[in-house]
Amino acid sequence: MPGNLSPAVPQGVLPANLAAAFVEEVRFEAFINNGYFDGSSDRYSLVLNPRRFFRFTYKLTAAQYTTLWSFYQAHLVQAFYFYNPPETTPPFTNDPSGSQTVGRYVCVFDGSWSDAVMIGRSQGSFGLREVA
């Protein structure tokens, strides 16, 4: 049927690394029309459930950098599983097979990759957006 979207099919699990900085946002996306002369506006929610956004900064060795960069390139337009470290059981564990459902989100990359390459260690930063 035209107009229907099938849900994202995740392929793989984001490799687990210890993040130097981790930010989680919960958003209700909304439409806002501020086009009235008296300053009033029309507002309505575009979603029924909140969407989660994650932002990371990693300090990586050369091998970790290569692994994470390869995963990023392979999943630019493809959904994958991400385990939110504080929500997993036991906390801060990762299931590389993707079978554990506690703390798991279906995500895509949100925005671009940012890095700083240094001697010995590099720093990589990117964002994720929940899609399911």
The count of domains in the chain is 1
pLDDT at 91: 87
Do residues 44 and 29 touch, judged by C-beta distance below 8 A? no
**Residue 7 domain flag:** no
Our CA angle for 114, 116, 120, nearest 5°, is 140
Q: Domain range spanning residue 80? A: 19-130
The pair of structure tokens assigned to 132 is 């399911």
pLDDT at 109: 93
**Residue 37 domain flag:** yes
Q: CA dihedral in degrees (75, 77, 80, 86; nearest 10)? A: 90
pLDDT at 1: 52
The pair of structure tokens assigned to 118 is 């240094």
**Residue 5 domain flag:** no
Q: Give buried/exposed letters for 22-47 (b at 16+ CB in 10 A, else e).
A: eeeeeeeeeeeeeeeeeeeeeeeeee
**Residue 43 domain flag:** yes
Q: Output the tens digit of pLDDT for each of the chain's 132 residues.
A: 566 777 788 999 998 877 778 889 998 888 888 878 887 888 888 878 888 999 988 888 888 888 889 999 999 889 999 998 888 888 888 888 888 999 899 999 998 889 998 888 888 899 999 986
**Residue 9 domain flag:** no
**Residue 55 domain flag:** yes
**Residue 11 domain flag:** no
Indicate the pTM of the whole model: 0.79
**Residue 12 domain flag:** no
pLDDT at 107: 93
